[in-house]
Amino acid sequence: MRGGTTGRRAALILGGVFTVSAVCTALLARPSAPARGPRVPPAARPVDAARAPAAAAACRWAVGDAAAFRLASVLTVEGQTDRFEATLSWEVVAAAADGARVRAALSQVVHTQDLTQPAERAASPEGVPFYLDLDAACRITAAAYAPAWDARTRLLVQTQLDSHAFALPQGQAAWREAGRDGLGAYTALFRVTGQTPLTTVARQKAAHAPRGDGARLGIDLRIERAEAVATFDPAHPAWWHSTRGEETVAVTVEGQPPLTLHQRFSLARADERFAPVAPLAFARADGQDPYTLPVAVAAPAPTYATLEEAWAAFSAQRAAGDELAAAHALAGWLKAHPEAVGPLAQRLRAGADPATHPALFLALELSGTDAARDALTGLVDDAALSPLDQARAVSALADCGPPSQAVADRLLARAEGDDLAAGVSLLAVGAMAGRAEDDALRGALNDALAARLAAAPDEAAVHRALDALGNSGDPAFAEALGDALAADSATTRRHAAEALARLPGEAAAPRLLDGLRDEASPRVATALVKALGATGQRPDGALDVMAARLAAGDAQERAAVIAWLGQGGEAESQLLAAHFHREPSARLKQQIGRYVPASALR
């Protein structure tokens, strides 16, 4: 329940990173698993084998090859702008038929961070070497950074690179690939739009599955546009010629007006800007995935002598509109003064200005101390607190330090009630299960969640349990959630659909499609279609089911089906074009026009 602590600037300030995806990472960063080595994209999947094939192509490198590229990215929010410009230079240090390794560095860096507070900005990556692995289709498959870079700087560079995630055609005119950016996992549709003299590939991102606990924290993210195009030049080594694109994301924070984040980015081959790359032994480079690293926020030195002085500084920052910065600064002071946690908790009980409560709970959570956990453990059912503040205490306790059995037991006990904090407690246990690195702890939490579902005394309790199973993200719950899609209650079926959308797509998609085949409720059908889209999967038979729903569904359901079809290939486009003249809604006709060329709609 931290939405109240994140004002309009809170959507913009963590991490010092500015791409649309990285801003969302700053909001949602909650590492759910340890780094597991380089990221290797899955094999490309054709969209429609009947389409005219594109010529297969492969990038070519030789040891000693060098190249340079001009990078630019601009993020604009409410008239404020973050900007990044640099030259990316690389030298090939190893090459084979299936790819190459390059040592790279950024020079001529221009990095303005008007949307980010000074203490939270990424350091400039100017001149520091790193490594990239590329495959024969020109994909960047892995990166290894200088150990001197902190998580924020690595994330800054990684999100830059991920903006330009393109691949050469491997014999298809259109295909899909899975990818990840700072927002989360997505499916990208690639189309070859030209082959002479340059190979031109268009990319449209779809089916984003957001990272972290955004929904639970009151953060809603909606991608409104994510389109880009790249050109590859077969006449030059390394093939890359240019990329350009735009992404627009609407961010809604609980209790705040929506924010629209608009990013433009580009890359252009510019060998004349090449700068020699400093040496770095590959064995010294760190290959951890930046998206799994916690983004630490530097806290000011704890110079306050008393809680009163710390409180005065906290109040001044809040008055200046920097609510999240105030929470971070207070958290930093509490780490050095754990003895002050008890008196601070007493201020919450004794009626401190309610407007300060969200930031105070966040400060306790971020301090991560044993004293904070002890205090929050007592606050989760403290009768002196409002129901909302008890729920805030639950959320803060769940995220205060790594998951533990003791905290889980406290939350499970708190979940016995039927108030707001009880519901949040069970959701928090689900999220903890998803973040737990210890197999025994994760298994115990999953067993507790399954038992809650089995023993749920009423429909409301069933819904809370289903939501918690979804929060875990564990494919082991796919069967139970799939069974819930056959419940008599339409509301229960909708909760099951939304929970399945948070599980791995391979486990969830077939069950969602089975539920959609005979679903009678338009509201539930809409949820099923959206959930299926969120998985990024297109199981066998999905197109036939969607065609039937498009013909019979109400306007809301048809809108969801149109969006699902719009992220597909040629067969999906043909179905939309055929439906266009039968569609009675002018608004939905306009929606179809976003996905199908005007020439196909005449």
pLDDT of residue 23: 46
Strongest mean pLDDT among 50-54, 259-263, 268-272, 447-451 = 447-451
253 found inside a domain: yes
CA distance 139 to 126: 23
pLDDT at 171 over 90: no
DSSP-assigned states of every residue in 209-277 = EE-TTTTTTTEEEEEEEEEEEEEE-TTSTT-EEEEEEEEEEEEEETTS--EEEEEEEEEEE-GGG--PP
Q: How far is CA 259 from CA 63, 253, 290, 451, 465, in A?
A: 47, 8, 26, 40, 32
Q: Tell me the pLDDT band of 284, cut-offs 50, 70 and 90.
A: confident
Task: Please report the pLDDT score of residue 202 as a whole number.
Answer: 93
Task: Name the most confidently modeled range: 143-152, 276-285, 357-366.
Answer: 357-366
For 88, the 3-state DSSP assignment is strand
Q: Per 3-state DSSP, what percentage of the chain is helix, strand, and coil (rounded to 5)?
A: 45, 20, 35
Q: What confidence tens digit (pLDDT) does each residue in 15-56 have?
A: 333 444 444 444 444 333 333 333 334 445 555 434 445 556
State the pTM of this model: 0.60
Nearest to 499 by CA among 521, 536, 472: 472
Residue linked to tokens 């698993």: 33
Residue 54: what pLDDT?
Answer: 59
Give the structural domain span for 566: 508-602
DSSP tag of 104: E
Share of the chain above pLDDT 90, in %: 44
Q: Is residue 221 part of a domain?
A: yes
Classify residue 368: in a domain, yes or no.
Answer: no
Q: Are 286 and 153 in contact (CB under 8 A)?
A: no
- Cβ neighbours of residue 351 under 8 Å, at least 6 residues apart? none
pLDDT of res. 255: 56
Strand partners, 201: 192, 230
How many other CB atoms are found less than 10 A from the CB of residue 417? 13
Tokens of 414: 């708190």
Asked which of 229, 264, 280 is the last residue of a domain, the reply is 280
What is the DSSP secondary structure assignment for residue 330, as one 8-state letter? Answer: H
**pLDDT over 70, % of the chain:** 85
Complete edge-to-edge strand list for the sheet that includes strand 184-194: 45-46, 174-180, 184-194, 199-210, 219-232, 240-253, 259-269, 66-77, 80-96, 99-113, 130-135, 140-144
pLDDT tens-digit profile of 438-472? 889 999 999 999 999 999 999 999 999 999 999 89
What is the C-alpha R_g of the chain?
A: 25
Residue 252's CATH number: 2.30.230
Distance between CA 431 and CA 467 in Å, rounded? 10
Q: What is the pLDDT of residues 195-235, one digit of tens each?
A: 878 899 999 887 666 555 454 445 667 777 889 999 998 88
Q: How far apart are CA 501 and CA 537, in angstroms?
A: 11
Question: Longest C-alpha distance within the chain, in Å?
Answer: 74
For residue 35, what pLDDT is reported? 33
Q: Determine, yes or no, domain membership for 414.
A: no
Domain tally, the chain: 2
pLDDT band at 478; cut points 50, 70, 90: very high
**347 lies in some domain:** no
Q: Residue 513: inside a domain, yes or no?
A: yes
Average pLDDT value for residue range 139-164: 88
Q: What is the identity of the amino acid at 103?
A: R
What is the pLDDT confidence band of residue 9, given thresholds at 50, 70 and 90?
very low
Last residue of a domain, one of 263, 280, 297: 280
- Using one digit for the tens of pLDDT, what is the confidence trace for 507-541? 999 999 999 998 999 999 999 998 998 787 888 99
Q: What is the mean pLDDT of residues 495-518?
A: 92
Those residues with Cβ within 8 angstroms of residue 403's Cβ, 6 or more apart along the chain or in another chain: 432, 433, 435, 436, 437, 438, 441, 445
Specify the DSSP class assigned to residue 284. G
Count Cβ atoms below 10 Å from residue 548 Cβ, excluding itself: 13
State the Cα torsion 215-218-219-223 to the nearest 10°: 60
Is 561 within a domain? yes
Residue 139, H or E segment? none
**CA angle centred on 12, ends 9 and 14, rounded to 5°:** 110
Is residue 38 within 8 A of residue 254, CB to CB? The reply is: no
Mind spelling out the 3-state secondary structure of 509-551? HHHHHHHHHCCCCHHHHHHHHHHHHHHCCCCCCHHHHHHHHHH
Whether 436 is covered by a domain: the verdict is no
Decide which of 280, 304, 323 is a domain's last residue. 280
CB 226 within 8 A of CB 204: yes
pLDDT value at residue 34: 33
Determine the Cα–Cα distance for residues 579 and 596; give it in Å rounded to an integer.
11
Q: Write down the mean pLDDT value for the chain.
A: 83
pLDDT digits (tens, 9 = 90+) for 329-340: 899 899 989 999
CB 218 within 8 A of CB 388: no
Q: What burial letters (b/e) apply to 483-496, b meaning 16+ CB within 10 Å? A: ebbebeebebbbbb
DSSP 126: B
Amino acid at 456: A
Residue-level pLDDT at 223: 78
pLDDT digits (tens, 9 = 90+) for 73-98: 988 887 778 889 999 999 999 988 88
